[in-house]
Amino acid sequence: MRKILCILSLFVVCLHFNQAHAQRYLPGMKAIQLTAGMADDFHWSDKSDFAYHIGAAYSVYTKNANRWVIGGEYLEKRYDYKDIRIPVQQFTAEGGYYLNFLSDRRKTFFLSAGLSALAGYETSNWGNKLLQDGSTLLNKDAFVYGGVLTLELETYLTDRWVLLLNVRERALFGSSIGKFHTQVGVGMKFIIN
């Protein structure tokens, strides 16, 4: 029994030290990701404006862990008016390129900067311009367009699952809630192949 236990222990130690790590971010690899986070003022207080965003994207990798990204995002910002909160929503599509400029030797952490074009639609209070107290919203639904600059940190949890942390600055023209929105988000990426 002691001999079998010793052989099994040696086998487990050998397996641990001889692990093969999958190659990461090779040209042509594809991934999908989901992200969510806060926008603008970054607070949850009931007495202040509140904004959040969620998004999904598809990535295709090129040389040096750089990637093309195409995706969509939903951003909602709520404004206080008397005793209610009026939501303003933006639905945007994104297409851009992310340049990897820093990674560790073991290819576990990647820091990338991205520049993307945005286009979408903005609506206030889901299109309902008449409020409960009889007031009328004056801002109109509109098409929005612009760009986004992103700084993103990726860290591998397993060979296929990646944790994302990002900071984004969106510039949108045609919007009634301001041209610039700073976003901080967290997400998960799954490497497809």
Q: What is the tens place of the pLDDT at every residue in 95-136?
A: 999 999 888 877 788 899 999 999 999 988 776 776 777 676
pLDDT at 3 over 80: no
Please say if the pLDDT value at position 21 is more than 70.
no
Phi and psi, residue 16, nearest 5°: -65, -40
How is the chain split into domains, by residue range?
32-191
CATH number of 32-191: 2.40.160.20
State whether residue 14 is helix, strand or coil: helix
If phi > 0 it is left, if psi is from -120 to 50 it is alpha, else beta; for residue 28 that is left
In this predicted structure, the answer to whether residue 31 has a pLDDT above a threshold of 90 is yes
Which helix (H) or strand (E) segment is 58 a member of?
A: strand 50-61
pLDDT above 70 covers a percentage of the chain that reads 80
> Residue type for 135, please?
S
Residue 189 CB contacts under 8 Å (≥ 6 apart), including other chains: 31, 32, 33, 59, 154, 161, 162, 163, 164
pLDDT (0 to 100) of residue 148: 95
Instruction: Please state the rounded mean pLDDT for residues 69-88.
Output: 85
